[in-house]
């Protein structure tokens, strides 16, 4: 796999990302257009990315539950379902989307060109539900001023966190991704003393040092989003969040994108944030950050993406043995990354 087609999940955060959420039109023609796009995507990434391997261009495609049913693959990923909306003190809406394209590069022109080429292929067959251009903000901070991505796993733990394994053999090597677009009320946030902001996040703002457990508020963001299994083992995810915004429109936000080997761990984090743990003990960051989108997608491994493109049912034998999941955490198609 060339550097322009994929990069390891633990690679440094690229300076730019473009997130496209699309709904596929009804009918056989639209479905055929999507299959053709799946078949051509690796070559498309290579064609755009050849200009500079250092740009690190990549694209991770995700497929929603409704579109997966239309593909008639003969099997369904165990964890794939529509995004579950949540309503507590604040709401996490579910919004339309059949296709997610997560495009990343060190330069915005590479993201722009790949998105342009993708829309030339898909444009007549899709409705654009959301397009968001993300960017790196100073030393990997969000627009609230805190470092974002501190707790992502690395090495073998990264692959274990994001890659489907033997629990769902037909889909081993794939992943799940949840996306939400948050808009921030910066005037309200900046009116809070720094000490109050740090209490909401559970970290020091300048140094990014985590509070000792005994000093954390029960509603702190890093308390409610750190979860464990029945044996007390941490259930990790991979976050590749990016700031976005428009000063002219007074729009400031964070695009949350989280990858996991099964979506339940992300859904538990979101329930803790919006409903509370226990109920009512919600994440106070939501007092200044409003979720305006929500979607859940399955990310096929590279070999499966080609089978989708070819219209092959998973009930048929795979003509090529799919390699085991890469131990660097990559899905062999695009880049994943970092933490909260």
DSSP string, 92-139: E-----SEEEEEEESSHHHHHHHHHHHHHHHGGGEEEEEEEEEE--TT
Rounded CA separation 256/179 (Å):
5
Q: Which two tokens stand for residue 160?
A: 């274990």
148 is catalytic: yes
Rounded CA separation 38/2 (Å):
18
Please name which of 76, 99, 102 lies closest in space to residue 297, comparing C-alpha atoms. 99
- Catalytic residue selected from 130, 148, 240, 340: 148
Rounded CA separation 20/77 (Å):
22
Please name which of 62, 286, 271, 306 lies closest in space to residue 178, comparing C-alpha atoms. 62
Rounded CA separation 130/52 (Å):
28
Q: What residues are labeled active site?
A: 148
């Amino acid at each position: 796999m060339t550097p322009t087609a994929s990069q390891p999940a633990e690679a440094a955060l690229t300076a730019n990302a473009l997130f496209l959420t699309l709904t596929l039109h009804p009918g056989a023609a639209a479905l055929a257009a999507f299959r053709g796009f799946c078949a051509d995507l690796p070559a498309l990434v290579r064609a755009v990315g050849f200009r500079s391997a250092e740009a690190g261009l990549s694209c991770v495609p995700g497929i929603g539950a409704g579109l997966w049913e239309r593909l008639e693959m003969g099997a369904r990923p165990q964890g794939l379902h529509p995004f579950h909306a949540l309503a507590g003190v604040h709401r996490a809406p579910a919004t339309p989307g059949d296709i997610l394209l997560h495009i990343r590069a060190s330069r915005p022109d590479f993201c722009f060109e790949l998105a342009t080429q993708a829309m030339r292929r898909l444009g007549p067959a899709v409705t654009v539900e959301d397009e968001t251009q993300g960017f790196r903000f100073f030393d990997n901070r969000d627009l609230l001023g805190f470092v974002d991505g501190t707790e992502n796993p690395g090495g073998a733990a990264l692959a274990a966190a994001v890659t489907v394994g033997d629990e769902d053999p037909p889909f081993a090597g794939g992943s799940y991704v949840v996306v939400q677009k948050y808009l921030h009320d910066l005037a309200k946030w900046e009116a809070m003393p720094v000490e109050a902001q740090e209490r909401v996040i559970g970290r020091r703002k300048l140094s990014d040092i985590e509070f000792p457990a005994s000093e954390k508020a029960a509603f702190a963001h890093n308390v409610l989003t750190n979860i464990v299994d029945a044996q007390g083992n941490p259930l990790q995810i991979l976050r590749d969040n990016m700031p976005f915004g428009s000063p002219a429109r007074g729009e400031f936000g964070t695009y949350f994108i989280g990858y996991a080997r099964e979506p339940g761990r992300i859904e538990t984090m979101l329930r803790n944030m919006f409903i509370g743990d226990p109920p009512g003990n919600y994440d106070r960051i939501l007092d200044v950050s409003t979720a305006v989108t929500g979607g859940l997608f399955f990310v096929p491994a590279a070999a499966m993406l080609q089978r989708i493109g070819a219209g092959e049912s998973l009930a048929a034998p795979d003509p090529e043995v799919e390699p085991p999941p890469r131990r660097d955490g990559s899905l062999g198609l695009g880049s994943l990354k970092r933490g909260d």
